[in-house]
Amino acid sequence: MTSEAMVAVRGLRKRFGRLDVLKGIDLRVPRGGAVALIGPSGSGKSTLLRCINLLDTPDAGSVRVGDRRLDFDGRRRLPPDREMAAFRARAGMVFQGFNLFPHMSVIDNVMSGPVVVKGVKRDVARPMALSLLDRVGLAGKAGDHPASLSGGQKQRVAIARALAMEPEVMLFDEATSALDPKLVGEVLAVIRDLARGGMTTVLVTHEMAFARDVADRVAFMRDGVVVEEGPARQVIEDPREPATRTFLGHFH
Ligand code: ADP
Ligand code: MG
């Protein structure tokens, strides 16, 4: 891991109507690093992730992923669609829900991005998809349909599908919140292996022990601002800010 930031968010602002959701967020994620976003419901964690991959369009500030930066300051016009689409492909996102295509087999789900979006030939995409399924422990399920999988397996397919686009950063938004508690561990294990294997990662989680153990750094958000950011263990075990202490108190 070098100190160069793979993701750099500066002065990011986002409103929905009169609701000021992000009030000037700065966040850096080193190449190969993992940052966990924690904070109460409604604090803007999902909106921040969605702004990093442009599912939500920032009102102001800049977002850089790798060597590409988009500025939203004072622009009346958005960057061109092509630029937005190219930028979006740099980040893979996994949501709480599984979002798989139900009518497609597991391997077709994983191949669909490369084949449809990037125009990769199926006979090239297939072995790559199989190796990703192997990486998430599901090579044996390639021909199955999502309906026959457990929630944990579906979420692992969703991770493989995001990886198939060869993103520069993976964004996880409460990837285990919808799972039966018995199935949480297998998904966290895949995320942990990815993060430890050098994938640049931003994850929103309510699993504080996981944030402490997997992330290098933790950012605590409240009301659209980052209240405290620091080394994961320090923020989780010995937070500096009273608001962080109060929030973490609910988990102890
Ligand atoms: P978190 O993920 O931390 O729970 P969110 O980013 O989902 O927070 O939401 C922050 C605030 O923005 C909430 O008040 C939420 O209701 C609001 N919000 C999020 N998305 C939208 C949207 N598309 N339209 C209007 N309000 C939204
Ligand atoms: Mg959220």
Our answer on whether the CB atom of 205 is closer than 6 Å to any ligand 1 atom is no
pLDDT tens string, the chain, 252 residues long: the values are 446 799 999 999 999 999 999 999 999 999 999 999 999 999 999 999 999 999 999 999 999 999 999 999 765 677 788 888 888 889 999 999 878 999 999 999 999 999 999 999 999 999 999 999 999 999 999 999 999 999 999 999 999 999 999 999 999 999 999 999 999 999 999 999 999 999 999 999 999 999 999 999 999 999 999 999 999 999 999 999 999 999 999 776
From the number of C-beta atoms within 10 Å of its C-beta (0-12, 13-18, 19+), residue 133 rates as buried
Instruction: With beta carbons less than 8 A apart as the criterion, state whether 113 and 161 touch.
Output: yes
3-state SS class at 59: coil
For ion ligand 2, residues whose CB falls within 5 Å: 46
Beta bridge partners of 170: 92, 201
Q: So what's the pLDDT on residue 250?
A: 78
Rounded to whole angstroms, the Cα distance separating 53 from 48 reads: 9
CA of 39 to the centre of ligand 1 (A): 13
CA of 205 to the centre of ligand 2 (A): 9
CA of 206 to the centre of ligand 1 (A): 17
CA of 106 to the centre of ligand 1 (A): 31
Our answer on whether the CB atom of 49 is closer than 6 Å to any ligand 1 atom is no
Rounded to whole angstroms, the Cα distance separating 15 from 56 reads: 10
Closest ligand 1 atom to residue 173 Cα is: 2
Our answer on whether the CB atom of 47 is closer than 6 Å to any ligand 1 atom is yes
* DSSP assignment of 186-248: HHHHHHHHHHHTT-EEEEE-S-HHHHHHH-SEEEEEETTEEEEEEEHHHHHHS-SSHHHHHHH
**Token pair for 134:** 């192997």
Ligand whose nearest atom lies closest to the CA of 14: 1
Rounded to whole angstroms, the Cα distance separating 12 from 225 reads: 10
Rounded to whole angstroms, the Cα distance separating 91 from 162 reads: 8
Our answer on whether the CB atom of 46 is closer than 6 Å to any ligand 1 atom is yes
Our answer on whether the CB atom of 16 is closer than 6 Å to any ligand 1 atom is yes
Decide if the complex's ipTM is over 0.95: yes
Residues with Cβ within 8 Å of residue 1, at least 6 apart in sequence:
30, 31, 32, 33, 198, 216
